Structures are given as C-alpha cells and as structure tokens.
Amino acid sequence: MIVTSGLTKRFGHVLAVDHVDLDVREGDRYGFLGPNGSGKTTVVRMLLGLVYATSGKIEVLGQPVPGRIAHVLPEIGSLVEGPSAYGHLSARANLALIDAAGERAGRRSRRARIADALERVGLGGIDNRAVSKYSLGMRQRLGLAAALLRSPRLLVLDEPTNGLDPQGIREIRDLLAELNAAGTTVFLSSHQLAEVAQLCTRIGVVNRGRLVLQEDMAALRGPTGRVIVRSPDADRAAALLDGQVALREQDRLVIADPDPAAVNAKLVAAGLRVSEVRAERRSLEELVLSVTGAGSDRVAGDRG
C-alpha cells in the first residue's frame, strides 16, 4: 500500500528525512511514531504529494508519487496537521464541497454519504452552526468525516485524536479498527503511544529523520524471558526464589525465568499465595525509548 525507498528531504541545510524505507502492507494498522521534530509529518506530506522529496522513491497503492498522485488520491482519505474547513460554513456544507470535488461524486447520494460520515465520527446530530464555533475535538471529528467520505482503501492520518476527550479517543480507535476489518488500510502518525499499542498491528519509528525500527507489533512485544509475580507473601516468595529475583516493588516481583507456570507451581507448592503471574512483555513506550534514546524537543537550560 505504501512503499518508500531511500526517501530523503532537505530544507536548505537541514536534513529532515534521511533515507526512509517504509513498508506498509495491505490490511495493516500501521503506527508511525517518533519524537517531535523527528520527520513524521514531513514523511506524511510527501506520501500525499504535498511536499516533494529531495531524493528517493515513493509508491502509494502501486503508483509512483508524486507523478501519479492524482490517480490514487480518490482512494485515499487523509487528515494531516489538523482539519481544514471554511469556518463560516456548517459541517454539512463543508463536506458537500469536498464531496463535489471528488471524481466519483454523485449528487443524488451526496446527502446520504455526508450523513453517514458524520454519524460514524460522532457528529450525526450536529446543527447548522458555523465550524468556527466548534471545539478542537469537534473540528477533529469533522476532519475524520471528510477523510471517510469516499470509502477510502487507505487512510493516512496525522494525530487524528488530537483534542478529543478519553471517550472520543476510544470511539475513534474503535472506528479505525472497524474500518480496517472491512478492508481499509490505516497509516496513523501519532504520539499517543497507549492508543497505538491498542490499535496498531505494525509500527515504524523515526528518530532525527531516520527509520530506526519497523516491525510487527506481536514480534516486538513478545515475552522477555522474565515472569511478573504479585503475591501477598512477597517476602517469602523473594526468599524462595532467591537468585532469580531481578526486581522487587512491594508485592510485585520480576523473576528471571521464562516459564510462568513453573514459577507459579513452585510458589503454590510452598504454600504461598499468588494474586498474579504472567510473562513479562515490553511496553510500546519502552520499545520507542530504546530506539530513540534522548531524541526530544526538550531544550535544557544552563544552571551554571
């Protein structure tokens, strides 16, 4: 669905994107991650033909970009750097303009398409007030509705849950999973690691313009070879497993053993209570930090 080879972008002397090789497969829910300023949005804009690459190749839906971008855009829904809309018009009027610009637009079914898109993003009951009076979360939902108007094969989204409350974030996550199950490939650039962890099946991580990790989520979050144990008898458990306890935090023990069943059997046989036992898996946050290191937009001051 998306393939790049040696994708590079310079702005003057600044190397913003450095030889990025993306591989987004049909059916993926692909999370595109990285610190602020790592080049994520620049990559997204190049995929959509909004910015030209300095060098490298891009294919989207099997077509070269930007050369054939007009051919594939009708099959792509996108939301990049926040939703755009005419502030003096209503949501429906804005969507009608977008729909009318589509190659496959049909006036007879336009009202139904707009109503369906608004309903799917939680704006089904919206009135005719001007978009300028919307909250940030409502604007974000409207931007998603615009991306869904043409039943896209590919969704390219940059921070789609920005401005939404927790309930709204969950609704959008469920919607994207539903669309993906129906055949839409989702490419999602986000800093919301918890949401990416729950939604995405594959991730790519950029840092300082370079792609430093690209892998299936299941492979990345496999067992670490250690077991997490919680026990009201943590002191006795630690003594019994002496030499295997890698970390202890009150009633929580991290045991250097790959077999949760064996650890549990040993504790139970000794008459100890066990409230939880499971294989340890690395969190997405740990994975991202391990490959981005100190990459951040933080600027330290001089305390000297």
CA 301 to chain centre: 32
**Residues 66-107: tens digit of each pLDDT:** 999 999 998 999 988 777 788 899 899 989 888 887 655 566
> What is the mean pLDDT of the segment spanning 193-197?
87
Strands 185-189 and 154-158 turn out to be: parallel
Distance CA 134, CA 123 (A): 11
Distance CA 7, CA 210 (A): 10
Distance CA 162, CA 141 (A): 10
Give strand pairing partners of 11: 14
pLDDT at 299: 40
Cis peptide before 66 (omega within 30 of 0): yes
Task: Collect all residues with Cβ–Cβ distance below 8 Å to 174 and sequence separation of at least 6.
Answer: none
The domain 2-220 having CATH identifier 3.30.465.10: the answer here is: no
Distance CA 199, CA 209 (A): 24
In the block, tokens 């709204």 appear at: 168
> What is the mean pLDDT of the segment spanning 207-211?
94
For the 224-281 domain, the top CATH level (class) is alpha beta
Distance CA 219, CA 53 (A): 31
pLDDT at 301: 47
Per-residue confidence band for 300, with pLDDT thresholds at 50, 70 and 90: very low
What rounded mean pLDDT belongs to the chain? 89
Give strand pairing partners of 17: 9
Distance CA 229, CA 240 (A): 13
Domain extents for the chain? 2-220, 224-281
Task: Collect all residues with Cβ–Cβ distance below 8 Å to 46 and sequence separation of at least 6.
Answer: 7, 9, 17, 52, 53, 58, 65
Say whether pLDDT at 214 is over 80: yes
**Residues 113-143: tens digit of each pLDDT:** 899 999 988 888 888 889 898 888 888 889 8
Give strand pairing partners of 154: 76, 185
**Residues 225-244: tens digit of each pLDDT:** 999 999 999 999 999 998 89
**Residues 13-64: tens digit of each pLDDT:** 999 999 999 999 999 999 999 888 899 999 999 999 999 999 999 999 999 9
